[in-house]
Structure 1
């Protein structure tokens, strides 16, 4: 058994034929660049690419296999040089007659064959199978059924985001309005919440909590991730660890302090002042569009019976290196070259080693990021918070 770092929500911007996949993602997010950057720069061991339903992305994967860059593991997943696991997934939007709003789901599959069959099923239910996060004209339970019939795993994405999520606008009170609770494998928390906040909602306490980046650029990979204890890199091992079975488990979740997530508190979408109600215009500028924060939404949904955070991995607040004061592109590159990857800088480099490369002040920020003691400015309304002076 050993520890592995995993980020299971990464988008493809373009295929090798320059076809758009995720419109809002960087053109540099191609399959080869993701695989290379994940291992060489970020230090990730497992990546979930969630646009693999796109025929162009499947074509790129098959090319990588033919060229010997990727190999299908007998227990599922694709392995690159025995050092990086690619898990194939699809992000799908549903908005059926039982939903109150759109909901994004991550559906993962163990093999190319299963992924291709899901893509064929999905193609009949979306406007454009080549694009990411398309609305599927199917119910939530139908999506669960097809995912399970193909041996896949079903995970609601960024469940508290005000837009396009389970608890954002997707349901009024309970996930049972839309889904079969027995066919959910885990929930993804998103950038504006953490385990302690999510645990206030009784109906999701039984599910594993995942922390992923939802990366729309190479640099944002690993913004949130988890540390897993597994025997090897394979699809089967990954989901044994996620579910805490056979001695595999999630060691810890790493994510932004929810206070700097861009939807943490309720604010005016125009002037970004914090406000108390979404029912009235902004008292500061009169603007009518008020974005309800994740904090307030969770308070609405919280169970009346309070429970201590039990049987969940530690949630460690962490800020990516690129967001720390004093770390520009040149210093970031120097740190990665010196220590091997961003994960090595964040987790393993000693204070003395860091000071030799980054100096005393920047080292203080890196260590504060490591231990979750940074000073922060709160975010909301679509604008991220930020790190302030120590």
Structure 2
């Protein structure tokens, strides 16, 4: 068994021809740019590209297979010079069983099954070329189709106030919308962590995944996990999510929830912190609020914590959040130490001080040790480091 760094939620911004896929995604987020950046700059071993259903994206993958830059792994996934690419699709559920839209992640073993899934989706959504489209079928029907094709099904960023399972999608329980037995894991999102999510007893049975939901190259691996597997393949990923034969998630690396955009409840007009959701804003008088993830979890709480042993959740500050660490300084770090994974996990403080100013190096080291304080985010605004 070996350990691999994995980020399973990366968007395609544009195809090679320039056609939009994730409209809010950066134009530089083409498939070819993503795989190079994720492997060579970020230092990841496995990534999930969750707009792989888009026909032009599939065409680009097949072109790279023809010239030998990609190889199909016999156990699923695409190999790019040692890094595994898992083919996925983010979709939106919103039918008579939901309280509001819910985003989900569907992963398929290989190009053939993703092509099949893409053609099937064309009959159930309006634009097969775009990301995160609403599918006009039930959540359970979508689950069954994914499983029919040998896929993996994971509800996405489950506590985010908008377009998520617990944000507005269900009143109390995932069973209102999904078959609990056909869920392979739960994606936590940027504003929660393991301890928060384990306050919901119905989640104790699932592995938690922490992914970037990247809309730009810089955001890749702002959250990720370390997974122990025999090799980086689709089959091994499925076994790890089911904790089979010694495989499993060994650590989750994610933002301190306070850094997330929706951790606390705020006034939607002035973004002032408002701990009481049902009362007018003390600052501007508005009654419109964006309910924070922490408050929503308190509403749903049904447990004191997980009864099962969980891997550690390591609060990590992405390098782009470090005050004073701009693009030029970050490039110096990459030139000296190779990848962001190296800087975040293994480069000693003394070595950092030799390359960047001592104050910035010390801040990186404090972030690795969990010694920073934060101003909590909310209402779509990220939190910040306060010291």
TM-score bracket for this pair, using the shorter chain length: over 0.9
Q: Deviation at 1:280?
A: 3.0
Query: What are the Cα deviations for residues 52-81 of structure 1, in whole angstroms up to 9, with x where unaligned?
Result: 111111111111111111100000000012
Between the aligned partners of 1:312 and 1:328, the Cα distance in structure 2 is 35
Deviations 1:115-151 (A, max 9, x none): 1111111111111010000000000000001000000
SS of structure 2 residue aligned to 1:251: strand
Alpha-carbon spacing, 1:56–1:386, altered in 2? closer, same or farther (3 Å): same
| 1:355 matched to 2:334 | no
Equivalent residue, structure 1, for 2:94: 95
Equivalent pairs counted in the alignment come to: 387
What TM-score do you get using the length of structure 2 for normalisation?
0.98
Q: Are the aligned partners of 1:11 and 1:50 in contact in 2 as well (CA < 8 Å)?
A: yes
* Residues 211-234 of structure 1: CA deviation (Å, up to 9, x unaligned): 000000000000000011122121
Q: Is 1:204 aligned to residue 203 of structure 2?
A: yes
Q: Is 1:327 the counterpart of 2:325 in the alignment?
A: yes
Aligned mate of 1:313, from 311, 314, 317: 311
C-alpha offsets along residues 94-119 of structure 1, whole Å, 9 cap, x if unaligned? 10110000000000000111111111
Does structure 1 retain, via aligned residues, the 8 Å contact 2:201–2:306?
no
Task: Work out whether residues 272 and 381 of structure 1, in 8 Å CA contact, stay in contact via their aligned partners in 2.
Answer: yes
The worse-fitting range, judged by mean Cα deviation, of 305-314 and 342-351 is 305-314
- Residue in 2 that maps onto 1:10: 10
Partner of 2:35: 35
Tell me the alpha carbon deviations over residues 225-278 of structure 1, each in whole angstroms, 9 at most, x when there is no partner: 001112212111122222221111111000000011110011001211111333
1-structure distance, mates of 2:61, 2:8? 17
Secondary structure of 1:105's counterpart equals strand
- What are the equivalent positions in structure 2 for 1:187-202 lying under 5 Å apart? 187-202=186-201
TM-score scaled by structure 1? Answer: 0.97
- Give 1:168's aligned residue: 167
Deviation of 1:375 (Å): 1.5
Shift in Å, 1:308: 5.0
Matched, 1:365 2:359: no
What is the rounded CA distance, in whole Å, between the counterparts of 1:241 and 1:372 in structure 2? 27
How far does the alpha carbon of each residue in 1:331-390 deviate from its partner, in whole angstroms, 9 at most, with x for none? 10010110110000010101111111123211111111212221211101111111122x
In structure 2, list runs of 5 or more residues that go unmatched. Answer: none
In structure 1, the residue matched to 2:241 is 242
Change (3 A) 1:274 1:362: same
| Distance verdict in 2 for CA 1:50–1:308, change over 3 Å | closer
- Tell me if structure 1 keeps the 8 A contact 2:315–2:370: yes
| Mean CA deviation greater in 366-375 or 118-127 | 366-375
Q: 2: CA distance between counterparts of 1:343 and 1:38?
A: 10
Match of 1:44 in 2: 44
> Tell me, what secondary structure is at the counterpart of 1:357?
coil
Residue 283 of structure 1, CA deviation: 2.2
1:296 partner SS: helix
> How many Å separate the matches in 2 of 1:242 and 1:347?
23
Q: Which residue of 1 aligns with 2:114?
A: 115
Matched, 1:221 2:220: yes
Q: Which residue in 2 is equivalent to 1:292? A: 291
Secondary structure at the aligned position of 1:358 is classed as coil
Q: Which runs of 5+ in 1 are unaligned?
A: none
Q: Which residue of 2 aligns with 1:281?
A: 280
Residue 139 (structure 2) pairs with residue 144 (structure 1): no
Question: Following the alignment from structure 1 to structure 2, what is the Cα–Cα distance between the partners of residues 17 and 309?
Answer: 50
CA contact (8 A) 1:280 1:288 kept: yes
Secondary structure, counterpart of 1:53 in structure 2:
coil
Q: Which runs of 4+ in 1 moved over 6 A?
A: none
1:381 aligns with 2:379: yes
Q: Give deviations 1:271-293, integer Å, cap 9, x for gaps.
A: 11111333233121022320000
Distance 1:15 1:198 in 2: 35
2:22 maps to what in 1?
22
